[in-house]
């Protein structure tokens, strides 16, 4: 039997920390808490976690800086907590490598669903194909077990978990237009909101990793009013 996931809640509001800890543990998720960046780093020094729920508006070192630091340490999934009207916060958080977001105020049940969705997608991203070991395309190679992207110049290019996941989605369906709704459903497990720009941010990040021009991309092309398409031949290695 697999162990229950370990989650870290980082929020300066003690009532939110206690509420979420009790609710998540009541639903089979082991939960630790931190009030600020110093406590977050101390918790991670003690033991790794499977996912971090991170409030972006923290005293002292804010959530943006902490999100950047977490990404420099590895690819632990991050769900950020933002203000209801904080669209700029959400975009900045996604650009820094967060995997999903929940806007305050929220129902604990919504956060639980997001946590389960991100963890599920993180597990499937480790091995989306049962037999495929790597993809190659346009001189690039993506190794699935090691989650490593190798450039045509044989340079390792780091990928955040969300970038790896999105690249795999494109590689699984090359030359096919994928709508924003389809990509949000695959990446976040939810429907797109009317002003949801999360996938546009993700695609922009992935283009940067691939050295793809934002104005005239060669690999991940924008199809106006439709979505995006990976315009490259893809080969699977077993």
Token pair, residue 214, equals 């934002």
Token pair, residue 151, equals 């450039």
Domain match, 164 and 117 both = no
pTM for the model stands at: 0.66
What's residue 21's pLDDT?
95
Range of the domain at 233: 134-237
Q: How far apart are CA 56 and CA 53, in angstroms?
A: 10
**What integer best gives the mean pLDDT of the chain?**
87
CATH of the domain at 12: 3.40.50.2300
Count of all residues that appear for the chain in the document = 238
CB distance 99 to 14 below 8 Å: no
6-10 β-sheet, strand order:
30-34, 6-10, 51-55, 78-83, 100-104
CATH of the domain at 206: 1.10.10.10
Domain match, 138 and 112 both = no
Q: Is residue 1 part of a domain?
A: no
Q: Is residue 103 part of a domain?
A: yes
Q: Which of left, alpha, beta for 148 (phi over 0: left; psi -120 to 50: alpha)?
A: beta
Domain match, 55 and 142 both = no
CB distance 100 to 94 below 8 Å: no
CB distance 17 to 9 below 8 Å: yes
Domain-ending residue, one of 125, 159, 189:
125
Q: How far apart are CA 75 and CA 33, in angstroms?
A: 19
What's residue 168's pLDDT?
92
Domain-ending residue, one of 58, 91, 125:
125
What's residue 225's pLDDT?
83
Extract the residue ranges of the chain whose pLDDT is less than 70. Answer: 1-2, 84, 86, 124-130, 188-196
Q: How far apart are CA 142 and CA 160, in angstroms?
A: 13
What's residue 226's pLDDT?
86
What's residue 128's pLDDT?
46
What's residue 206's pLDDT?
94
**Sign of the C-alpha dihedral computed for residues 200, 205, 209 and 214 taken in this order:** positive
Q: How far apart are CA 171 and CA 99, in angstroms?
A: 20
Residue 230 DSSP class: E
Domain match, 117 and 144 both = no
Domain match, 166 and 97 both = no
What's residue 190's pLDDT?
61
Domain-ending residue, one of 102, 125, 148:
125
Q: How many CB atoms lie within 10 A of CB 35?
A: 18
How many domains does one find in the chain? Answer: 2
């Amino acid at each position: 039997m697999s162990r229950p996931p370990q989650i870290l809640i980082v929020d300066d509001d003690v009532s939110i920390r206690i509420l979420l800890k009790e609710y998540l543990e009541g639903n089979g998720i082991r939960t630790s808490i931190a009030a600020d960046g110093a406590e977050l780093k101390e918790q991670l020094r003690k033991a790794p976690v499977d996912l971090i729920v991170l409030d972006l508006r923290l005293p002292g070192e804010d959530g943006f800086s902490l999100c950047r630091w977490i990404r420099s340490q590895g690819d632990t999934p991050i769900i950020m907590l933002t203000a209801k009207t904080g669209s700029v916060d959400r975009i900045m958080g996604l650009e820094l490598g967060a995997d999903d977001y929940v806007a305050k105020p929220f129902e604990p049940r919504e956060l639980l669903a997001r946590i389960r969705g991100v963890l599920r997608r993180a597990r499937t991203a480790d091995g989306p194909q049962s037999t495929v070991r790597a993809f190659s395309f346009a001189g690039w190679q993506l190794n699935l077990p090691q989650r490593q992207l190798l450039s045509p110049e044989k340079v390792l290019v780091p990928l955040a978990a969300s970038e790896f996941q999105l690249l795999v989605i494109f590689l699984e369906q090359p030359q096919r237009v994928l709508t924003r709704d389809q990509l949000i459903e695959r990446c976040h497990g939810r429907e797109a909101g009317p002003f949801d720009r999360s996938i546009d941010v993700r695609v922009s990040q992935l283009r940067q990793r691939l050295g793809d021009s934002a104005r005239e991309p060669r690999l991940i092309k924008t199809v106006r009013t439709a979505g995006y398409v990976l315009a490259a031949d893809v080969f699977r290695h077993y």
